Amino acid sequence: MIDPLRLGRTAALLLAAALPLAEPALAQRLTPAETTMTRTVDADYDRSVALLETLVNQNSGTLNLAGVTRVGARMRTELEPLGFIVTWKPMDAVQRAGHLIAVHKGRPGTKRLLLIGHLDTVFEPNSPFQKFVRKSDLAEGPGAGDDKGGMVVIIAALRAMQAAGTLKNANIEIVLTGDEEKSGSPHSIARADLIAAGKRADVALDFEGLVIDGGRDMGSIARRSAIDWRITATGKTGHSSGIFGPGVGDGAINELARILAAFRKELPEPNLTFNTGVIAGGARATLTESGDAVAAGKTNIIPQTAIAIGDFRTLSPEQTIRVRAKMEAIVAAHAPETNARIEFGEGYPAMAPTDGNRALLAALNGVNRDLGLAEMPALDPLKRGAGDVSFVAADVDSLAGLGPYSTGDHAPGETVDLPSIRRQAKRAAILMSRLSAERSVR
């Protein structure tokens, strides 16, 4: 079977566009309201693409605070006519624009749904990649898939629910963060509203992009953590002729090399990855948080300082704790006459695969059967990065990947498969309608 992950961008997206949508002969599996939803999504397709173009053409790089705010204001104009009470939560305290929070109150006692997306992109105003360009069923643009395409799927699904009469009874809270790509710190402030929403919800649905693997749409029931680390090693400087000798020791660079070699040998385990991103070392060395390194020294001087930054990714909180402890122990086993310390950033937590998450995927596959679409297997979490849904996953059953399919995310040329907006909006509208009819367990 052709694997889109190994194809070029255009070929992969064309293959995705060819995946079957619900056929008329299978519409009898849907209720009348669900049939209305599918027809509404199709009828609104041009409107959805136009909204995507508008959102993409407004730069909203994370640090473009005014741009992120304007995208939030545009989303407000889409959500308020659907009956949502929309609030803008400024994030001045963490040097970010803010978050858009929208609440729709439905029938008491039914499941409360949390929809998660983000307003920002990785493309700041100085990026050469700024405009939406449509090429038939494909469209390039900054954030076209991640995550402006996801926000368009949310709106398309909610419009379909309104047309079918299922939105009026649905209890839905939407949190669109303004700093998913470069989160503000501390998270106790930057993610407080999202975490609180997760504690109120029965179900969390994340509208970042769909993954296609081996020609099949995949369901994401797990996302790994992403935690930064920084190691600073020090040693005694002096003439290189004394290296490794009594009272001189190994020097800072050798100490750092010992640590990284031990990581490679002792840390590996299933679902874990760890990476060293930048190293600086010498008689003098500095390394900024943004990864800018400066170092100076000579071949005949034992280096006094060595610094490295990187990250590690895990599948569960328990794995995070275990791996972190191993890293700390390795760092603490100093070579002669050296010292070293490791510091960890806040990072993104893990979204572990749970029975509740699997049940959500099973419910989505019930929708797929009724739409005449293929079953979506669970995606290998090694094939997906971290995301905002992980901040709520410990508190609520969660499912990720409900946005459109795209390739080249986070790089110039990011390209979205436009027909996947329809496929994903139909799935989301029917899934949300069915979940909203169930009783809350909170």
Q: Please write the tens of the pLDDT for every residue from 104-154.
A: 999 999 999 999 999 999 999 999 999 999 999 999 999 999 999 999 999
Tokens encoding 16: 């995705």
The residue-averaged pLDDT of 334-339 equals 97
Closest CA to 236 of 340, 332, 331, 338: 338
Q: How far is CA 270 from CA 15, 219, 259, 333, 380, in A?
A: 31, 20, 21, 25, 12
Q: Please write the tens of the pLDDT for every residue from 290-311.
A: 789 999 999 999 999 999 999 9
Measured in whole angstroms, the distance separating CA 442 from the mean position of its chain's CA atoms is 26
pLDDT for res 3: 33
Task: Tell me whether the CATH fold assigned to 4-223+351-436 matches the one assigned to 227-344.
Answer: no
Helices 32-43 and 419-436 cross at an angle (nearest 10°) of: 150
State percent of the chain over pLDDT 90: 91
Classify 31 in phi/psi space as left (phi over 0), alpha (psi -120 to 50) or beta. beta
Q: What is the distance between the alpha carbons of residues 151 and 149, in angstroms, rounded to a whole number?
A: 5
Tokens encoding 147: 């995550």
Q: pLDDT band for position 289 (50/70/90)?
A: confident
Helices 419-436 and 148-164 cross at an angle (nearest 10°) of: 50
CATH of domain 4-223+351-436: 3.40.630.10
Contact between 86 and 73 under an 8 Å Cβ cutoff? The reply is: no
Residue 13 has pLDDT above 70, yes or no: no
3-state secondary structure of 275: strand
The residue-averaged pLDDT of 38-59 equals 98
State percent of the chain over pLDDT 70: 94
Neighbours of 212 (CB within 10 A): 23
The DSSP output letter for 396 is S
Tokens encoding 304: 């006094």
Average pLDDT, the chain: 93
Strand partners, 280: 307
Residue 200 has pLDDT above 80, yes or no: yes
Q: What is the distance between the alpha carbons of residues 430 and 368, in angstroms, rounded to a whole number?
A: 10
Tokens encoding 441: 């367990």
Residue 5 has pLDDT above 80, yes or no: no
Which residue do the tokens 């070699």 mark? 261
Contact between 404 and 74 under an 8 Å Cβ cutoff? The reply is: no
Contacts of 115 (CB under 8 A, 6+ apart): 154, 172, 173, 174, 175, 205, 207
Q: How many residues does the chain have?
A: 442
Q: What is the distance between the alpha carbons of residues 9 and 14, in angstroms, rounded to a whole number?
A: 9
3-state secondary structure of 227: strand
Exposed/middle/buried for residue 269 (C-beta within 10 Å: 0-12, 13-18, 19+): exposed
Q: What is the dihedral of CA 59, 60, 62, 67, to 10 degrees?
A: 100
Contact between 353 and 361 under an 8 Å Cβ cutoff? The reply is: no
Fold held by 227-344: Alpha-Beta Plaits (3.30.70)
Contacts of 11 (CB under 8 A, 6+ apart): 4
Q: Please write the tens of the pLDDT for every residue from 392-405.
A: 999 999 999 999 99
Q: Where are the domains of the chain?
A: 4-223+351-436, 227-344
